[in-house]
Each structure stands twice: as structure tokens, then as C-alpha cells.
């Protein structure tokens, strides 16, 4: 059993590989298909961008494809970087520059105003089918010093109060259990085997 995920983000690829291995699936990503085009993320919402990625690649490969559009919503920044999280500090994605920009924009903002949400929208698309859409959210606070070296992206700055750790200080297993992506996948699992059959 193989599942194709329309991502070129190595951090996401690693998380999905582990999540689906536990279900008995082998994960392939666009890193395994260098010949496929980059899908331009022209949507205005996570769902629009996830649909663009999943539906474009499903159409090309003629098989079911899952895509993830995710990002960090920072309350005091009116929701930025949001759908622009990957390219907050410009293109191509530079995680260190993104984190530095985030810290810079939050200079002087006190702890109680540093609340943020990681959001993940997953779209599962297949030729001639209505796509399946699920979402997951994860609440936290933006720290003042990066901590931890697991995960990817903004994880070293995303402090999870319940764990008293940043996302990058959590084990990969623990992050997958409680993250925005883990929660979205849990919802998908309730529905996708039925969806694939119909």
C-alpha cells in the first residue's frame, strides 16, 4: 500500500512517512518525482492551496494524492504569516530567516500576547471524485529564544504550554500525536478508507 503526498517539504515528508508507516502505508512524496511541476500556490486560503496541490498532482498521476497546506497564525500579527508561512522572509523557503523575522516582528511583545496557532488543512484528491478535506489546529505561544532541534520550520519558536516544551523539543512521536498535522490525519483516517471505496 502506497500513498502519494504532494509535498516537497522534507519536514512534512518525514512526519507523514512516520504517521502512515504505523498504518501500514508506504509514503511517496514529490521528492520521489522530481519531474513533476511545482504547483503555484495562488489560493487565498489553506484549503484552496491544498486543493491546488492535491488535485493538480492527482490529475497528472491519475491516482489518489494527499496534500498539506499549513502555517503559523500569530494573533498579534493579525494572523500573519498564515498561508505565507513558508515564504515569510522571501523565496525560496529559508527557515532560519523566517524564524529571525518572526522574532524581530515580536520584539517587545509580552508573553501573554504571543499566542499563536499552527493550522493544517489536508486535501485528499482522486480523479473523478469530490476531494476529502480535513483540518487540524494546535495552540501555542511564540517563544523568545529558539529551543530544540527536532521537527522543522517554526518548531523551535512554538512553545506548547501543556508540554512546557517547544515543538522542536518534543519527540517526533509526541509531536505527531498532538500537532495540527497529527490531528488532521486522525480525522482523515476516520473517513478515507470509505472515501476511497466510493
C-alpha cell belonging to residue 76? 498579534
Question: What is d(CA 157, CA 145) in angstroms, rounded to the nearest whole number?
Answer: 7
Name the DSSP letter for residue 144: S
> What is the nearest approach in angstroms of ligand ITT to the Cβ of residue 198?
27
- Which residues are within 8 A (CB) of 55 and not within 5 positions of it... i.e. 6 or more apart? 65, 123, 125, 131
Contact partner, 16, from ligand ITT, Na ion, none, Cβ < 5-8 Å per class: none
What is the number of other CB atoms lying within 10 angstroms of the CB of residue 150? 17
**Nearer CB in complex with ligand ITT: 56/132:** 56
According to CB under 5 A, which residues from 41 to 60 bind Na ion? Answer: none
**Binding site residues, ligand ITT, CB under 6 A:** 7-9, 12, 41, 53, 68-72, 85-86, 93, 98, 118, 151-155, 167, 179, 181
Residue 38, SS3 per DSSP: coil
**Nearer CB in complex with ligand ITT: 84/193:** 84
Q: What angle do CA 9, 11, 12 make, to 5 degrees?
A: 70
Indicate the helix (H) or strand (E) that contains 148.
none
> What is the nearest approach in angstroms of ligand ITT to the Cβ of residue 197?
27
- Burial-class residue 93 by CB neighbours within 10 Å (0-12, 13-18, 19+): middle
Q: Which residues are catalytic?
A: 69
> What is the nearest approach in angstroms of Na ion to the Cβ of residue 194?
29
> What is the nearest approach in angstroms of ligand ITT to the Cβ of residue 84?
8
Q: What is the x/- site pattern for Na ion, positions 57-96, by CB under 5 A?
A: -----------------------------x----------
**Nearer CB in complex with ligand ITT: 41/59:** 41
Main-chain dihedrals φ then ψ at residue 3, nearest 5 degrees: -125, 135
Which ranges of the chain would DSSP assign to H, the alpha helix?
10-21, 46-61, 95-105, 172-178, 180-197
* Positions that interact with Na ion (CB under 5 A): 86
Amino acid at each position: 500500500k502506497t500513498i502519494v503526498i504532494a509535498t516537497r517539504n522534507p519536514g512534512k515528508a518525514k512526519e507523514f512517512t512516520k504517521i502512515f508507516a504505523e498504518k501500514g502505508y508506504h509514503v511517496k512524496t514529490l521528492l520521489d518525482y522530481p519531474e513533476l511541476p511545482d504547483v503555484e500556490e495562488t489560493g487565498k486560503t489553506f484549503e484552496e492551496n491544498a486543493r491546488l496541490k492535491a488535485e493538480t498532482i492527482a490529475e497528472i498521476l491519475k491516482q489518489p494524492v494527499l496534500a498539506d497546506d499549513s502555517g503559523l497564525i500569530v494573533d498579534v500579527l493579525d494572523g500573519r504569516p498564515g498561508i505565507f508561512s513558508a515564504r515569510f522572509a522571501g523565496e525560496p523557503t529559508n527557515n532560519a530567516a523566517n524564524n529571525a523575522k518572526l522574532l524581530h516582528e515580536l520584539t517587545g511583545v509580552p508573553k501573554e500576547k504571543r499566542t499563536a496557532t499552527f493550522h493544517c488543512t489536508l486535501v485528499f484528491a482522486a480523479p473523478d471524485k469530490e476531494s476529502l478535506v480535513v483540518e487540524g489546529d494546535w495552540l501555542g505561544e511564540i517563544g523568545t529564544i529558539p529551543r530544540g532541534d527536532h521537527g522543522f520550520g517554526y518548531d523551535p519558536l512554538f512553545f506548547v504550554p501543556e508540554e512546557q516544551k517547544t515543538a522542536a523539543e518534543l519527540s517526533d512521536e509526541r509531536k505527531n500525536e498532538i500537532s495540527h498535522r497529527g490531528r488532521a490525519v486522525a480525522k482523515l483516517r476516520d473517513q478515507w478508507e470509505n472515501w476511497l471505496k466510493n
